Each structure stands twice: as C-alpha cells, then as structure tokens.
Amino acid sequence: MQIDSLELFHLALPLRRPLPTPGAPREKLETVLVAMHSGGATGWGEASPGNAPWKSGEWAAGAFALLRDWLTPAVVGTCLDSGSDLGQRLAMFHGNQFAKAAVDMAWWDLFSRQQNQPLHERIGGHRQAVEVGPTFDRVEPCDDFQAAIQAFHAAISAASEAGFPRIKLKFRPGWDVNMVDFVHKEFPGQTFQIDCEGGLGLQHLEMLYRLDDFSLAMIEQPLPADDLVGHAMLQPSVRTPICLDEAIVSPAQAEMALELHSCKYVNLKPSRVGGLTAAVAIHDACHAQCTPCWVGAFPQSAIGGRFGFALAAKDNCTYPSDYFPSDQVLAEDLAEPLLPSRDPADGRQRVRLWSEPGIGIQPDRKLLDKYCLAHVCVGKV
C-alpha cells in the first residue's frame, strides 16, 4: 500500500466540566488526529496522551511536533503492506508510543477500509458486542463531606442498577481500605476492582494484604510501572489477582512481565504500547501464556475509542473494558461515539460494534476546523 500523504490536526476539545489535573483544572482536552491517505482512501488515528506530560513523557503538542517533523516524513511515499512494515520504518525513533500509535492506527483503519472489512474483524475479533464498566474516583473535597459520600454512593448504585458488569475504583493512601470496605458492604453482589495507578510501594504490603478480604476482581498496577520484579514478588503473596497497566508499554515489556509472572491480568491500551500492531502482539503473547487481557481507555475522541473496542473483540480480552463516556465529558465529540446499552438477554451493559469498513466513522471536518490549533499536511493529498 503506497502512502501518498498524511494530515495532522492538533485539537483542543471543550469539556463539559473542568478536568482535574496537576496545577489547575483544564477546560479543554488536547488531542492529535492523523489522517493517512492512499489512492483516494483515508484512514484515521488518534494520539491523546493528555495536555501535558503528567502521566507519561508525552503530551499532545509534543506528539504533534514529533509527528510533523519526524514520523510522517519517514512514512510518506513509502509502501507499507503490514503494521510490521510500518513499525520497522519508525523503529529508528525511540519511545513516543502515543505518536507512533496514531500513525499505526491510521494505517490499520486505512487498510481495513481498502479491504472493505470492519477493523475488529480484520484483526481477528469474534465478538459483535463488548462488555464495559465505568470508573469512579473519590469526590472532590467539599464543605459537606457527608454529601460527598452520598454522591459517591449514588453514582455506584446507579451504575450497578444499570447493569454494568464491573466497576473500577481509584485507590490511593487516604482513599483506600476503608473505602473498599464501604462499597463491599453496600454492594455485596457487585464486581469491583481497584486501580492504584502505581501509587503504592512495598511499604504498603499490610494494606495490600488486607484487600484479600474483599473478593476484588483484581488490583490494577499497585506498584510503580518499572517495578516488574516487585510485582512478581507481590503476586504470590496475595490471593487477589494483580493486573499490570502502566507497566505494559511494549511487547518486550509484556513478555518480560509474563516471564517473571508479575501479574494475572494485563490491561491493554493501544495508544500506550505504540499502536494496534503492538497491542495485538501483546494480546497473542498473553493468550499463549493463559494470561487474560482487557482493554483500558484514555480521555479521547470517538475516533481513538473505536480502536480499543476493536481490540476488545479478540478472544483473550475476557474481562469488561474501560468505558470513557465522551458524550458526558466532551462538550462536542468529533464523531458519533459508541454508547453502551443494556442487553435484554442478560441485563448487562455492552457496546455493539459496527459493520462498516475500518473504524466505521470519520471525524466531522467542520469540527476539525472549529477546534483546530494547528494543521499540517505532509505529501500530496
């Protein structure tokens, strides 16, 4: 497949309510869209590492500059017949997984459209619907603490009654075992997991041991991302399965985690690992080692969200995916988001997948122009 040109869009999407971030709340979500053109067809990808390098070393403006100056010039005018071919073209550039992922996703969307096949089928997915679950964090500090707890309880209650098969709770010192004990008693039949975001250390072992009392589905990323050995030491000492998230940034890192037996679940995020090609490779490696996967989500537009749902259709993604409710977070999305609905067969919330080629949608060009901070085209459209 000959790559004729790539377009880059650095966007600032207004939020319905300010997003809490280090320093000050943000009114807009910055993201980068990539359009890859070949023979009259176009594929779309998205890099959404955030407005600033808070959770990784990447951010939207930096990803846009890297894509403009280095990644897209290395791709335009070349013939790429597979995601592996693309990966080899970009291998000379170290790191920058989000930026690479946007190009890789655009290639997969373009390729699937040319094959006239939905992306989830093109990568070997067999599901036509994907189970999803929401995430809840502690309520922001307010003058009435009791009202905040009631709001937290009401949100979980609404999700449970709506039929979401699992609920994820953010977990950190100060919002920890007592919180889990509270929801465990209030919602005894609901499946819960906790997400520590790498915020604990081996000095918190007693706290981690106590979590075995609550029948949690998993403890997500309890220790820092680079501590695969620590996770390998921790997993045999607790009954609750450990899931790695931030630690999984490449197929090589995933293989090391599997070799060390650092976890019993892997949270796959295509953007974090460098794209769909790498994510499928990690999925397959986990499947071979009988380690189930599930798909996480970042704040992003409906374009990026489709790639996670496509990946979640594969056989080894056996646990409900994260769900980023862009319709509730973004004041205006770039395309129609996929929304979960209650399956009448069993009452569980699922997202129905699409039948159109590729990711099945394209961004609204008027909205691209409306929210565009910078735009560049490399090659001839």
pLDDT at 141: 58
Per-residue pLDDT band at 143 (split at 50, 70, 90): low
Instruction: Give start-end residues of each CATH 3.20.20.120 domain in the chain.
Output: 121-352
Task: Please provide the average confidence, as pLDDT, over all residues in the chain.
Answer: 95
pLDDT at 333 over 90: yes
- 369 contacts: CB under 8 Å, gap ≥ 6: none
Domain spanning 5-116+362-379, CATH architecture:
2-Layer Sandwich (3.30)
Report, as an integer, the average pLDDT of 228-234.
97
Check if the beta carbon of residue 262 is closer than 8 Å to that of residue 290. Answer: no
Quick one: tokens of 237?
A: 């000492």
pLDDT at 140: 62
Look at residue 6 in the predicted model and tell me its pLDDT: 97
Q: How far apart are CA 23 and CA 10, in angstroms?
A: 22
Could you count the other beta carbons within 10 Å of the beta carbon of residue 70? 14
Task: Provide the percentage of residues in the chain whose pLDDT is more than 70.
Answer: 98
For 51-68, how does the pLDDT look when each residue is reduced to its tens digit (9 = 90+)? 999 888 999 999 999 999
DSSP string, 190-244: S-EEEE-TT---GGGHHHHHHGGGGT-S-EE--S-TT-HHHHHHHGGG-SSPEEE
**Band of residue 263 on the pLDDT scale cut at 50, 70, 90:** very high
- Res 368: pLDDT: 97
Query: How high is the pLDDT of residue 26?
Result: 85
Q: Give per-residue pLDDT as tens, 268-306.
A: 999 999 999 999 999 999 999 999 999 999 899 999 999
Residues 87-142: tens digit of each pLDDT:
999 999 999 999 999 999 999 999 999 999 999 999 999 999 999 999 999 866 55
36 pLDDT band, cuts 50/70/90, is very high
- pLDDT number for residue 196: 97
Q: Contact, 102 vs 68, CB < 8 A?
A: no
Q: 277-292 burial by CB neighbour count: b if 16+ within 10 A, else e? A: bbbbbbbbbbbeeebb
pLDDT at residue 42, as a whole number? 98
Question: Looking at the chain, which residues constitute the CATH 3.30.390.10 domain(s)?
Answer: 5-116+362-379
Mean pLDDT of 191-213: 95
pLDDT score of 242 more than 80:
yes
Going by pLDDT thresholds of 50, 70 and 90, the confidence category of residue 345 is very high
**Under CATH, what is the fold of the domain 121-352?**
TIM Barrel (3.20.20)
The answer, yes or no, to whether residue 17 has pLDDT greater than 90, is: no
